Chains A and B, each alone.
Chain A
Amino acid sequence: MAVKNAVKSAVKEKVISKDFKEYIRDVNPDVGLDETIKRLTPEKIEKTIKAVIGGRSSRIKAVMNTCIHCGLCAEACQWYLSNDKDPTYAPVAKMRMTIWEMIKRNGKVDAEFIKQCARIVFTECNICHRCSMYCPYGLDITFIIGMVRRICFLLGVIPQRQLDQAQAHIVTLNQVWLSQNDWLDVLQWQEEEVGADFKDLRVPIDRDGAEVMWLPLGAEPKTGTYHIERTAKIMYAAGVNWTLPSKDVWDSSSMSMFVRDFVTMQRIVRGLYDNAARLRIKKMVLTE
């Protein structure tokens, strides 16, 4: 009961931004935000912000100098609409409370500010690009949000699950930390499972010159193994000459994209194409 009450009171507790008094949110503990900011120093924050923003590219200037704060972007945002039109959820407010403030203060912001930025750009924006469609000037607001995400990524301040998946991609090039042995073992096991019911139904690995290479999402071999079985049945019924790669990269997702980890993004795409080229397949089929 005590635990229940503690949870209840924690949920009710609010946090008020010291930088923007109108930004009031429920307390939402997350080690990816609460713990990681302890590693930050003012110097590291300033250096990182300046490295990302650099000489303030024309793309940033275009957004900053052209925005007339009309607020039309707000009507595009599902976060704004689903929070009783709270203006702190408007895309323009998200820019104002993050990157504009970083620029205004020349990168001299504290760790709590970075935590607040991370909360805004990772948990209150889906980078869906709708705001840019509503903007009368077509300003690329999502690009700005992406830059803030990159600053947070470089500082290691990202909600735990997103950070975990981004780290998984860096290390394993899939989003679920799947080992190379588990990837292959699952494919072989699924071939056994499905092969019992059909004559010569395959989950073929590294078939040279196949028409199609299927690249699943990381979760499929990890927790949705039946997807592999079903895909094999579809390919069998359709008579498709298909294959899966034995080597990295096989996961067609990219959590790295959502945190703007540019190098891992390249590694993922390059790895998919390397496999396609190695096996000389003709088409890549991706889950989504």
Chain B
Amino acid sequence: MAISISNTQELAIPEKLKNCDWDTKEKLIADINEWKKKFTSVRELVTSNDGEKIATAVRNQDKRFTTCVNGESWEETFERIYSLKFNPDNQLISLVFRDYEWAVAVDHEIWEEKFDYLWNLTLSPDGKSIAVNTRTGEMTSGVCLNGKPWENTFPEVRDLTISPDGKRTACHVQIKKRADLDIHAFMEGIWTVAVDGNPWEKSFLTVWGAVFSDDSQHVASVAMTDMSKYTIDVDGTPWDNVFGAAWEPIFKPGGSDVIAPVQTPQGWTIALNGKPIWNNFSQVWRQIYSTDGQKLAAVVAVDVGKWTLAVDGTPWNTVFNQMVLTPVFSPDGKKIAVVVKNNNKWTIAVDGNPWYESFDNIWDPVFSPAGDNVAAKAEKNGKYVIVVDGKIGKKGYDSLWNPVFSPDGSKLLIRCIDHDKYYRRVIPLNEI
């Protein structure tokens, strides 16, 4: 069986990357083939951001699981291990199950708190806080943040979002039990958002897309208020306006203003605090602000099957007939890049200009710190390649993770599998 990987949450912390080894051109970190000989099962591989570590869950001859990091396995064994990911300090975080109890493991430390089930393992943007959804023995659900469970639990919770400062969590929660086939319970509106375990006073038919503001003080979510009415609820207060449909909101950076795509009788647009601010399109979604909040971009359909990106309400001239994924702004907000699919071929478009080369698959664009270069992992003719500004790298790999720019933007860190061996390579941009 070929090697398979997991592309986990990327936590590129500039300060951490400064301390990476940007001088050694190549390091052989692990021979995965040796792992395959040693263990009866080698699961999806994950790597640390600095590329120095590679890990996975492995199954021993006794059919029990442990973690293996750079070839070193942990003596502790479990019935299940899932959701592995590295934090920016290169600690391996995972969910482990033993003797009918789940816990979070941070490297070789296991949280004291145990639960009937854990899922949605989530790290804060700085990687310092760990949150996870919990299921208790009393068949209720909640959240555990850094080892501290919510005081309130609920018949059911769905999804988990963690605040930018890593101190708060929010979920979509069911506030009242519902019997099987009880069609009336739904009509009462028994779903809302709970922040730090405290549900909003107002409840709805359903809610989804909860998100925190930059300062971690506010939460917004889509709320279904009637069978055909949707709005955005901010800190428990719905917008004055309701719409035929709404997509997930985001906060404007540096404040409490909320924007969300909404459907009006004239079409889809972007609403700011409930008021439409863009012209109408056939569809609008995947909106994103530049870091400074000065520019707002969203994926729009200018007509059926004609997808593109609109920046501050103005669509690009180029349209794509299949998909436009979530855009990425350059750090200075001056450029924007996005993965597009047209006529069954994938590529990246930067500021409206698609790269000449197309691919069987391509991953999200990564900007250099100064915003002058764009790199991405792509798949072409059965091999994985690094692409920089549309130019395909010389070497093809068996597996790759997303490339990482050096702080000065002159080099790329390549985390790759080549003939079953995991290498950490540092390559100058002009040698890709």
Q: CB distance A179 to B323 under 8 Å?
A: no
Q: How far, in whole Å, are A263 and B222 apart by their CA atoms in the complex? A: 12
Out of A181, A209, A277, name the residue touching B325 (CB < 8 Å): A277
Chain A residues with CB under 8 Å of B295's CB are none
Complex interface: chain B residues within 8 A of A199 (CB): 40-41
B7 close to A (CB within 8 Å): yes
B280 to chain A, nearest CB (A): 17
Q: Does B183 contact A210, Cβ atoms closer than 8 Å? A: no
Q: A161-B181, A167-B183, A263-B244 are in contact. Are A180 and B119 (CB under 8 A)?
A: yes
Q: A282 near B: Cβ within 8 Å?
A: yes
Flag A200-225 by CB within 8 Å of B: 1 or 0 each: 10101111111000000000000000
Quote the shortest CB–CB distance from A54 to chain B (angstroms). Answer: 10
Q: Given A181-B117, A263-B230, do A171 and B181 touch, yes or no (CB 8 Å)?
A: no
Q: Which among B184-192, B213-221, B387-395, B411-419 touches the partner chain?
A: B184-192
Chain A hits for B141, CB < 8 A: 179, 181
Closest to B323 in A: A277
- Report which of B1, B133, B183 forms a contact with A163, defined as CB distance below 8 A: B183
A156 touches B227 (CB 8 A): yes
B183 contacts A36, C-beta separation under 8 Å:
yes
- As a 0/1 sequence over residues 167 to 209 of chain A, the CB contacts with chain B under 8 angstroms (1 = contact) are 1001110000001110011001000100110011010111111
- What residues of chain B lie closer than 8 Å to A266, measured between beta carbons? 245
Most buried by B among A154, A179, A206: A179
> When the two chains form their complex, are residues B156 and A208 in contact, meaning their CB atoms are under 8 A apart?
no
B361: which A residues are within 8 A, CB to CB?
209, 280, 282
- Once the chains bind, are B82 and A205 in contact (CB under 8 Å)? yes
Interface residues on B, range: 35 or more
Contacts of B6 in A (CB 8 A): 206-208
A153-B227, A263-B228 as given contacts; A207 in contact with B4, CB under 8 Å:
yes
What is the distance, in angstroms, from A239's C-beta to the closest C-beta of chain B?
8
List the A side residues contacting B44 at CB < 8 Å.
Answer: 204, 206-208
Q: Does A241 contact B (CB under 8 A)?
A: yes
Within residues 1 to 42 of chain B, which ones have a CB less than 8 A from any CB in chain A?
Answer: 1-2, 4-7, 40-41
A35 at the interface (CB under 8 A from B): yes
Q: Which residue in B156, B325, B360 is a CB contact (below 8 Å) of A179?
A: B156
**Residues of chain A lying within 8 A (CB to CB) of residue B2:** 241
Residue of B nearest to A270 (CB): B285
Knowing A180-B133, A181-B119, say if A154 contacts B227 (CB, 8 Å): yes
Question: Which residues of A pack against B, CB within 8 Å?
Answer: 31-32, 35-36, 39, 51, 153-156, 160-161, 163-164, 167, 170-172, 179-181, 184-185, 188, 192, 195-196, 199-200, 202, 204-210, 241, 246, 248, 261-263, 266, 270, 273, 277, 280, 282
A-B contact pairs, 10 of them (CB 8 A): A32-B183, A171-B191, A171-B206, A179-B156, A181-B133, A184-B117, A207-B5, A270-B285, A277-B323, A280-B361
Closest 5 CB pairs of A and B: A208-B7, A167-B186, A263-B245, A200-B41, A181-B117
Chain B residues engaging chain A, CB cutoff 8 angstroms: 1-2, 4-7, 40-41, 44, 59, 63, 79-80, 82, 117, 119-120, 133, 135, 141, 156, 158-159, 174, 181, 183-184, 186-187, 191, 205-206, 224, 227-228, 230, 244-245, 285, 323, 325, 360-361, 363, 379
Given contacts A170-B186, A180-B159, 19 further A-B contacts (CB under 8 A): A153-B227, A154-B227, A156-B227, A160-B183, A164-B181, A170-B224, A171-B174, A171-B206, A172-B158, A181-B133, A188-B80, A196-B63, A199-B41, A207-B5, A207-B44, A241-B2, A261-B227, A280-B363, A282-B361
